[in-house]
Amino acid sequence: MQRVYLDHNATTPLHPAVADAMVRVLRDEFGNPSSVHHFGQRAKAAVDEARSAVAALLGADPGDVVFTSGGTESDNLAIRGAAEALERTGKRHLVASAIEHEAVLNTLKALARRGWTTTLLLVDETGIVSPDALRAALTDETALVSVMHANNEIGTVQPIAELARLAHDCGALFHTDAVQSAGKIPIDVKALGVDLLSISAHKFYGPKGAGALWIRRGLRLLPALTGGKQERNRRAGTENVAGIVGMGAAAAVARSKMAEEAARLAALRDRLEDGVLGAVPGTAINGARTPRVPNTTNISFDRVEAESLLIALDLEGIAVSTGSACSSGTLEPSHVLKAMGFPPHRTQNSIRFSLGAANTDVDIDQVIAVLPGTVEKLRTLTRTPARV
């Protein structure tokens, strides 16, 4: 079966150049970057080179990039680290959008159990956080605001620069989870005006288990892990050298191809949207069509359970996703679509298509050819909804 992978927001395959760089390091650079001798220096040099490449992707100074194990750790380090550093000032209020990734939402929940107050910003059906909503939520007590750069489910890009300015006017720090935007659209930490920014390598053709947190110079942050003095005392533990080198290589590739690849993917994505909306009755795009990352669309299919559609498409060789998976691997209603105010049936009938490097017009044609019949079958044959 010719399989089509349209779930790049979940993860991406390694770029060949990334795999080559990692294999070389795994084979030839076994040194510990903290070691003083020759072997340590070689490993350290590889890590430094990767740090420069990642910094370049973010318009940042390499010295402000801390490598982590991925997006989740970066989000945790940013929010917990900043919150705990500010604890003594008496600022005990945290704000985030309600469409954040679980890495942010559940970190806020954990802090709420320890006495922090939290406010979640709802969004309207555009899926874009409004500056007015943030303005209304901010208080003198607000320690930190966390709003994602691009949403993972619907792809909408948030007005980070404006939101960060509002937070700063109230004396609050600003973190953005840029896991879904890094490598897809330009990021410039100075233009965004944020204090903390999280990214993850495997979302842009790097390896799993590698991520980074950019931290504005001079910002006080309590480390989440205690141990050695790696990463300028911000992230203890011997560096994942191969993962870091892979992330650096992926950042370099992403940066060099970004404009061209974004235009290509946006055209494919738009073709997919027009094709699906034209060929399948009862469909609608969830969220604003602009500003969006170029590779993502989220489409609602009236009278269809997303769970069944996902399985039916997988049996046809088309890999897509919906909502977020829970511990057993079943699907939960999308918290993002819920926060956008959609009724229950709409939070359970939506599918995310996220395109990537290997996708071509042939893939889009296959999806448009398969979808109408698959959806029609589900609509006529499913009589007993499991959850709605």
Give the interface with another protein as residue ranges (CB under 8 A). 307-308, 311-312, 314-315, 326-332, 377-378, 381-387
Supply the minimum distance, in Å, between the C-beta of residue 310 and another protein.
Answer: 8
Nearer to another protein, 36 or 381 (CB): 381
Q: Please, is 387 exposed, middle or buried when counting C-beta atoms within 10 Å of its C-beta (0-12, 13-18, 19+)?
A: exposed
DSSP codes joined into one string, 202-234: GGGTS-TT-EEEEE-TT-----SS-SS-HHHHT
Nearest-angstrom CA–CA distance, 293 and 366: 23
Supply the minimum distance, in Å, between the C-beta of residue 285 and another protein.
Answer: 24
Supply the minimum distance, in Å, between the C-beta of residue 311 and another protein.
Answer: 5
Q: Which helix (H) or strand (E) holds 250?
A: helix 241-279
Nearer to another protein, 228 or 344 (CB): 344
Bridge-partner residues for 40, per DSSP?
Answer: none
CA 319 to mean position of chain CA atoms = 19
Residue 326 a catalytic site member: yes
Judging by DSSP bridges, how do beta strands 331-332 and 324-325 pair with one another? antiparallel
Measure Cα distances from 350 to 107, 234, 268 in Å.
Answer: 26, 40, 19
Supply the minimum distance, in Å, between the C-beta of residue 10 and another protein.
Answer: 16
Of 269, 277, 286, whose CA–CA distance to 347 is shortest?
Answer: 286
Measure Cα distances from 353 to 210, 286, 295, 313 in Å.
Answer: 24, 12, 8, 12
- Supply 226's token pair: 């205690």
Nearer to another protein, 136 or 386 (CB): 386
Q: Of 1, 36, 326, 362, which one is the catalytic site residue?
A: 326
- Strands (E) across 130-286 are located at 142-146, 173-177, 196-200, 211-215, 283-285
Nearer to another protein, 127 or 323 (CB): 323
Amino acid identity of residue 64, one-letter, is D
Supply the minimum distance, in Å, between the C-beta of residue 348 and another protein.
Answer: 9
Supply the minimum distance, in Å, between the C-beta of residue 385 and another protein.
Answer: 8
Nearer to another protein, 139 or 324 (CB): 324
Nearer to another protein, 105 or 249 (CB): 105
Which residues are tagged catalytic? Answer: 326
